[in-house]
Structures are given as structure tokens and as C-alpha cells.
Chain A
Amino acid sequence: AQKVTQAQTEISVVEKEDVTLDCVYETRDTTYYLFWYKQPPSGELVFLIRRNSFDEQNEISGRYSWNFQKSTSSFNFTITASQVVDSAVYFCALSEPSGGGADGLTFGKGTHLIIQP
């Protein structure tokens, strides 16, 4: 069965600090996709990144970077020089398109990130 674990329930840092959000996943499929979403207080889930299981290259987008390591089944997310606007709940999610299970995303419980000015 697929599972996503975000062990950090809440993280609080001071603005301009770097912060890493951890994500560990479980899957029996060889083909799968990993996602990160941001949920600000308004409630809408905002897509940040998708990574497929065959692409282990790290990715950087501005202040955001992602580290995908299949050996440890992790897909961690780092925000460099954090800003108050980064405050939100961040979700890691997993999809197994070819699997026999549900077609939807399996989400972790989320990490509430608080950036203090």
C-alpha cells in the first residue's frame, strides 16, 4: 500500500533562515510520481513540483529546491532564505498511475511552516 510520511508537524523559523521539509514515501510500484503542494490559509492547494520515479535529478526553482533520493525513499523540500509569505501548510503526495489502487494522490499529513518576521 502506498503511504506518505511527513514527520514534522510544525516548523517555526525566523525569516531569512533556510528550512527543509521532510517527506518519506512507501510504494510497491516502480513507476510513481511525487508532488509537493502548498496550502496557504486561504485553503487552496497550490501545485509546486512533480517528480517521476525515474528522474532523480535535484531541482531548483528560485528559493525552492527538492532532493529526491530513491535509496532512502525521500523527497525533501528546502526553502532558502525563507520569507513570511512562505508560511503555509506544505503537503507531499504520491501517485501510482499504473497501480491497482486508488487513482488519486496519497497525501502526507502536512507540515505547518511558520516564518516569523
Chain B
Amino acid sequence: GAGVSQSPRYKVAKRGQDVALRCDPISGHVSLFWYQQALGQGPEFLTYFQNEAQLDKSGLPSDRFFAERPEGSVSTLKIQRTQQEDSAVYLCASSSLSRGSQPQHFGDGTRLSIL
């Protein structure tokens, strides 16, 4: 499709397990963003890529969170040794130009539940 695609749509994991969330941005979009949205809250910025370069990871809550975009297109957000507070919806967004002036187009998100 033409939009941002995220998989899986839902993920359930036991505390302590590692998880990997995938984002396939709109073709040709330079910028890619990850956000975390807790229940009843607005999305919170995690990290930003311009092509394959991770230019900003100031929002990652701990060193258990790791993101990559090795070829400048698909991105993976990995969470190691998951904890219950990691339960949230993880949103990916892409935009056509660099930095934050352009509208970001969001995927449907991955709803992560840690038991």
C-alpha cells in the first residue's frame, strides 16, 4: 500500500523477553520517527532517522531500547528484556523531507502488551 506499514499489529510478550517491531515507511520518505503512546496519552517521541542515520535518540527511555534503519528504508525498533511499563502502542511515522517541518504520516501502530 501507499501508507506507512507496521507489523505486527499486536504483540504479547512475557516480561524479560526481547521484541522487535517493524516499520515500512512510505516509499522515498527520508525521515522516519518512532513514538510511544501510553493509554490515554499523546504520543511521545523516541527516535528519528534521516535515511540510515539515527540523528536523534533522545527520547529512548533506556538502553534496552534500540532502533535501526540500515538501508534507509525499513526500520526496526527492538526492546530487550521487556518490562511491564513498556506496554504501549508504538507508532512509526515518515515524512518526505528532513527534520520536523513537514507533516508526518503515521502507521496504525503496534500494540505491545507485556505480561
Contacts and interface: CB of A to CB of B under 8 A. Distances in A.
B104 A103 contact: no
A105 B100 contact: yes
B99 A97 contact: yes
Nearest to B4: A44
Contact of B42 (A42, A43, A103, A107): A107
Contacts of A105: 33, 35, 43, 45, 100, 104
Contacts of A102: 45, 48, 56, 58-59
B59 A104 contact: yes
Contact of B109 (A44, A95, A107): A44
Interface residues on B, range: 20 to 34
Interface in A1-19: 4
A87 B104 CA distance: 22
B105 to A, nearest CB: 7
B101 A97 contact: yes
B106 interface: yes
B106 to A, nearest CB: 4
Interface in B2-48: 33, 35, 40-46, 48
11 contacts: A4-B42, A37-B106, A43-B111, A44-B108, A44-B109, A97-B100, A102-B48, A103-B99, A104-B46, A105-B33, A106-B45
